[in-house]
Amino acid sequence: MEIIPPKNQPNPGPAYKSPDNELYPRPQSGIAADRPAPPVTPPPEYKERRGSHGVLSTVGLFISAFLIAILLNTFVIQSYQVDGESMQNTLMNNDRLIVNKIPRTIARIDGHQFVPKRGDIIIFNQAGLPGYIGEKQLVKRVIGLPGEHVVVGDGHITIYNKQHPEGFDPDKAGIYHIDAKVTSQNYDGVLGPNQLFVCGDNRPNSEDSRYFGPISTDQVVAKLVLRILPLNKTQKF
């Protein structure tokens, strides 16, 4: 009697008889039936494709991070460094600040003007400053709001509006605190619907609306929210 191997499989060799005269296929020498198949090594071109994919993924990650940083810096938050003494002693030269751009971004999306609150410290663009070509970004405090009558004279500021028809001094109303006791110069004007009157806290040494007039709400870039440096003067605004 013969054992015919299945088609497409190697011939296991002649059968042999067990002591009980039963026929078994002859096992292949040196190979165990339950031994796992050896691992298959990927071809070299497969490895090269994986390496190229990894490089492209890394480059894409860096580009994405760069674009996200630009978007955050343009529309959400930004870091600034104070240059000058016009906001002393509230802000000192070289202080590092974090400003919030979200309100301005939302206002531009929905087509409205961003109007900060009285006492807010803002960053804005200002053109026409002596010694500068184009615009320069300044940091000042909001003193007068749209539609208000602002008078600077006799060493102090007076704001006239519907709530205070007799006028009040914002520097003494407890909205904010400044060290300056006297506000020099003279000004008398009614702010337009999209205008703000801004001043530096260091009144004797600040070029602000007393000199270049009211600013437009379109000029506002951001609102100060945090001083992060120096560490011993970290402050939320």
Paired strand residues for 195: 216
- pLDDT per position as a tens digit, 192-219: 999 999 999 999 999 999 999 999 999 9
Token code pair at residue 142: 């909001």
With a cut of 50, say whether residue 24 has pLDDT above it.
no
pLDDT at 44 over 90: no
Q: Tell me, what's the pLDDT at 34? A: 54
**Given this model, what pLDDT does residue 41 score?**
64
Which structure tokens are listed for 115?
């109007």
Least confident of 100-109, 142-151, 171-180, 223-232: 100-109
Question: How large a percentage of the chain has pLDDT more than 70?
Answer: 74
**Average pLDDT rounded to a whole number, residues 1-9:** 47
Was domain 78-236 assigned CATH 2.10.109.10? yes
Cα Rg of the chain, angstroms: 39
Q: Closest Cα to residue 152, out of 198, 194, 218, 86?
A: 198
The answer to whether the CB of 87 falls within 8 A of the CB of 121 is yes
Euclidean distance between CA atoms 235 and 90, whole angstroms = 10
Q: What is the pLDDT of residues 82-108, one digit of tens each?
A: 999 999 999 999 999 999 999 888 988
Whether 230 shows a pLDDT value over 70: the answer reads: yes
Residue 38: its pLDDT value, please? 67
Question: Residue 141: which of 227, 200, 212, 216 has the closest Cα?
Answer: 200
As a whole number of angstroms, the distance between CA 50 and CA 200 comes to 59
Residue 235's pLDDT is 95
Higher per-residue pLDDT: 236 or 64? 236
Residue 26 structure tokens: 């002859």
Cβ neighbours of residue 174 closer than 8 Å, sequence gap 6 or more: none
Would you call 65 helix, strand, or coil by DSSP? helix
Instruction: Give this prediction's pTM.
Output: 0.72
Q: Give the pLDDT band of residue 46 (cuts 50, 70, 90).
A: very low
Whether residue 217 contacts residue 114, with contact meaning beta carbons closer than 8 Å, is answered with yes
Sequence ranges of the domains in the chain: 78-236
Tell me the DSSP string of 88-128: TTTS-TT-EEEEE-HHHHHHHHHT----PPTT-EEEEEEE-
User: Is residue 136's pLDDT more than 80?
Assistant: yes
CA distance readout (Å), 217 to 36, 128, 211: 76, 17, 18
